[in-house]
A and B are shown apart, each in its own frame.
Chain A
Amino acid sequence: EDQVTQSPEALRLQEGESSSLNCSYTVSGLRGLFWYRQDPGKGPEFLFTLYSAGEEKEKERLKATLTKKESFLHITAPKPEDSATYLCAARSGSARQLTFGSGTQLTVLP
């Protein structure tokens, strides 16, 4: 059974304090690892897709990386507007659809 686990569940940072969010996955034959941002009361918004170990993608203060067992979302010098819940999801070769983690709720304090 495919599993995706995110840690920590919640993270509070001071503005400018860099950190990383973790997404561990157990899937048979990864076919894509997805990161989404979700603001309160809204639907998830797509950030990145990673397909193979060693791949990295960047967008503003966010950088996503992928290994054979986990993905990291690095947040460099975060701002309060980066506060949101960050979701990751994996698609395996055997499953036709995505398996989502339960998310990390990030709060960036001014």
Chain B
Amino acid sequence: NAGVTQTPKFQVLKTGQSMTLQCAQDMNHNSMYWYRQDPGMGLRLIYYSASEGTTDKGEVPNGYNVSRLNKREFSLRLESAAPSQTSVYFCASRETRKGSYNEQFFGPGTRLTVL
């Protein structure tokens, strides 16, 4: 059981370049999330997918797009990278249950630098 996996682990981009961050989970979870983590600011939600085929904006969606490819995979795309998008990106997943909001499981992160 690998849990939540993310690729790549590290990436350096130049301003204006595009890239896709990949995330996959093997826990059969319905919900998946993309966060960014910046020093002193905690985790901020970029986009989430409550179930296969649906996506919704989080707190900081500008400059990003997502695709829920299937139940296992949820990708995050930067169309034209900017230095302000330098951050650590975490993917997470969660089993949805009626009547309670249970915990999210996180991947190891992608460290992105935009020059």
Contacts and interface: CB of A to CB of B under 8 A. Distances in A.
A100 B109 contact: no
Contact of B101 (A31, A43, A101, A103): A31
Interface residues of A, number: 23
Interface string B9-26: 000000000000000000
Interface string A1-42: 000100000000000000000000000000110101000011
Contacts of A44: 43, 90, 106
Nearest to A35: B103
For chain B, the bracket of interface size reads 20 to 34
B104 interface: yes
B11 to A, nearest CB: 15
A43 B108 contact: yes
Contact of B42 (A31, A43, A46, A102): A102
Interface of A: 4, 31-32, 34, 36, 41-46, 49, 51, 87, 89, 91, 96-98, 100-103
Given A43-B106, A89-B43, 8 more contacts: A41-B109, A43-B92, A44-B106, A46-B105, A91-B101, A96-B50, A97-B45, A102-B42
